[in-house]
Amino acid sequence: MRKLFTLVALGALMLSCGEKKEEKKNGFEMNRAKKEVKKEVASAGVPVDMDNKGVGPFTSVTFDNEINTEMASAGQAKFQAICTACHMAEQRMIGPALKGVYDRRSPEWVLNMIINPDGMLKKDPIAKALLKEYNNAIMLNQNLSEEETRNVAEYLRTI
C-alpha cells in the first residue's frame, strides 16, 4: 500500500510540473510559471537605417563576399575578451543582440560604433535611441585600433 501511495504521489508531482501555478497572497497574484527566454535580434524601438554611416573614421566600407577567416578569428578573440560582458549574439543583455547587425546597420555605422562609441552616443540619432532603449547603459570606449575594429566587424559577419 505504501508503494502504491508513493507511486501515486510521484505521478501527481510529475503531472504538476510545468503547469502554470498562481497564488494569491494578501491581494497580490503570484505567477510561478517558467518564462521562456526571448531571443531578440532587432531592437523594437530603434529604426533600421542602412544609410546612416555614423560618426567616426569609417566613411566607406565594403566587405568581400567571402569572410576573411584570419580576421574573423582575431575579431572573435577580441570580442570574447571585451564585448561578451554586454553583448550576446541572439539575446539582448546590457547591450543589443548582435546577430544580423548588418541587416539593421551599415558597415560604417557598426565600425564607427565599435571604435568611437563616445562620439556616436553624443551625435548619432540611432546610437542615442539605443542608449535610451538600453536604460542609458553607455558603451565604453575600448580604445581599439582600426585593425582591431575591422577584425571585430569581420567576426560579427559570422554570427
Class of domain 69-156: mainly alpha
3-state DSSP assignment of residue 28? strand
Sign of CA dihedral 68, 71, 73, 79: negative
Record the pTM. 0.70
Q: What is the pLDDT along the chain (159 residues), one digit of tens a residue?
A: 555 444 445 454 444 444 444 445 555 555 555 444 433 344 457 888 898 999 999 999 988 889 999 999 999 999 999 999 999 888 988 999 999 999 999 999 999 999 999 999 999 999 999 999 999 999 999 999 999 999 999 999 999
Per domain, the residue ranges of the chain are 69-156
The whole-number pLDDT of residue 1 equals 53
Q: How far apart are the first and last CA of the chain?
A: 57
